[in-house]
Structure 1
Amino acid sequence: MSILVLGVGNILLTDEAIGVRVVEALEQRFHLPEQVEVLDGGTAGMELLSAMANRDHLIIADAIVTRKSEPGSVICLRDDEVPTLFSNKISPHQLGLSDVLSALRFTGEFPAKLTLVGVIPASLEPHIGLTPIVAASIDTALQAVLDALAESGVVLTPREVQHAE
C-alpha cells in the first residue's frame, strides 16, 4: 500500500495556503505509518509527477475556487470528479496539477484512488496567513483527509499533546 497525502498551495496568497496548512496539521497531530507519505507540494507542477505516480491512493488538500459554496466550506471529491474540477480552476498552480494528472493518466501511472479535499478560499490576495473563516476549516479538512485514509484501511494514531507547564 502506497499513499501520498499532498498539500498544495501558495503560502503568500492568504487562503491559497490551506492545503499546505492541512498537511502540516496532519504531520504535527498524528503518527504516520511508513505506507503514508506526506508532501508539501507548494506550487509545484510537473516536478510532482514521480511522487504522485503509481500510488494506491493520492489524497490532495488544496484551495478550490468555485461559485457554488461559501468560503471556508470543505468539499471532498473522488476519482473522476477531480480532473474535471481542476480544468475549471483558477489558481496559480492548478494548471500544473491538471497537467500532472493528465500525464499520469497518459503514462498509465494514475493513482488507483484519488481524493481531493478542497477548501473554498475567502481571499487569494497577497498576504501570509489564512483568513479566520478558512483557518477555522482546518480541522474539518483534516478530518476529511483522515476519512480518506480510513477508506484505504489506514487509521492514524494521534500524537500526545505536549502541555506547557
Structure 2
Amino acid sequence: MKQPDILILGVGNLLLSDESVGVHIVNQLERDYDFPPGVELVDGGTAGMELLDFIASREHVLIVDAVLTGDAPGTVVTLQDNEVPALFNNKVSPHQLGLCDLLGALKLTDESPQNIFLVGVVPESVDPGLDMTSTVSRAVPAMKQALLAHLATLAVTPRAKAEATCV
C-alpha cells in the first residue's frame, strides 16, 4: 500500500507572540516524533507564494496557524477543504494573504492539494514578542492532538521518539 503524500505545514511569525504557534507546533512534532515516509513537516514561517512547490499537487496538506474566527482567544478550530480558504479572508498577519493567494494560484493551475485540513487557534496577542501567551500555550496540546487524530484517519501513526536515557 502506497503511503499517502502528506505535508504538515506550520506557518506564522516567530516575532509576533501567538502568531508563531504554527511554527512552534511543527518544530515540536519534528522533535518528538518520527514520521513514516511520505510525511513531510515544513516550517513555512511567513512565506507565501514561496511555498508553491511544497504544496502543489499534494494528496494531503495539514496547515497549523493562528486564525481569527471571532471565538475567544485560545479556541482551537479545525477546518477542511473549502472551509480553509474562506477563513483566510480574516487575516491575522500578512502571511495569510500569501496563503490565500497561494491556494488560489494552485486552483488556477490545477495543482490544488486533494485534501486540506487546518488546525488553528484564536490568538490572544499578535504584539511583538518571542513568547506565546499562556492562553495559546495551553491550547497547543489540543492542537497537536487534533493533528495526530487527523493523521490517524489517514492511516498514519507517527512513532514517539524514545526519551534519552542516562547510563
Give how far 1:163 is off.
Answer: 5.5
Match of 1:60 among 53, 60, 63: 63
1:45-124 to structure 2, matched below 5 A, reads: 45-67=48-70, 69-124=71-126
- Separation in structure 2 between the aligned mates of residue 100 and residue 13 of structure 1, nearest angstrom: 22
Give how far 1:147 is off.
Answer: 1.4
Counterpart in the other structure of 1:133: 135
TM-score, normalised on structure 1? 0.95
- Separation in structure 2 between the aligned mates of residue 90 and residue 128 of structure 1, nearest angstrom: 17
Give how far 1:164 is off.
Answer: 6.8
Instruction: Give the match's secondary structure for 1:137.
Output: helix
Could you list the runs of 5+ residues in structure 1 that have no partner in the other structure?
none
Percent identity (aligned)? 47
- 1:37 matched to 2:44: no
TM-score, normalised on structure 2? 0.94
- Separation in structure 1 between the aligned mates of residue 77 and residue 92 of structure 2, nearest angstrom: 16
**Matched residue count:** 164
Instruction: Give the match's secondary structure for 2:19.
Output: helix
Instruction: Give the match's secondary structure for 2:88.
Output: helix
Could you list the runs of 5+ residues in structure 2 that have no partner in the other structure?
none
- Separation in structure 2 between the aligned mates of residue 29 and residue 139 of structure 1, nearest angstrom: 13
Give how far 1:99 is off.
Answer: 0.4
Instruction: Give the match's secondary structure for 2:119.
Output: strand
Task: Calculate the aligned-residue CA RMSD, in Å.
Answer: 1.3
- Separation in structure 2 between the aligned mates of residue 92 and residue 102 of structure 1, nearest angstrom: 16
Displaced runs of 4 or more, over 3 A: none
Q: Are the aligned partners of 1:57 and 1:152 in contact in 2 as well (CA < 8 Å)?
A: no
Instruction: Give the match's secondary structure for 1:5.
Output: strand
1:145-164 to structure 2, matched below 5 A, reads: 145-162=147-164
Give how far 1:90 is off.
Answer: 3.3
Cα offsets for 1:70-106 (capped at 9, x unmatched) = 1111100000100111122231211000000001111
Give how far 1:66 is off.
Answer: 2.1
- Separation in structure 2 between the aligned mates of residue 24 and residue 73 of structure 1, nearest angstrom: 21
Instruction: Give the match's secondary structure for 1:15.
Output: helix
- Separation in structure 2 between the aligned mates of residue 161 and residue 118 of structure 1, nearest angstrom: 28
Cα offsets for 1:5-31 (capped at 9, x unmatched) = 000000000000000011111111111
- 1:27 matched to 2:33: no
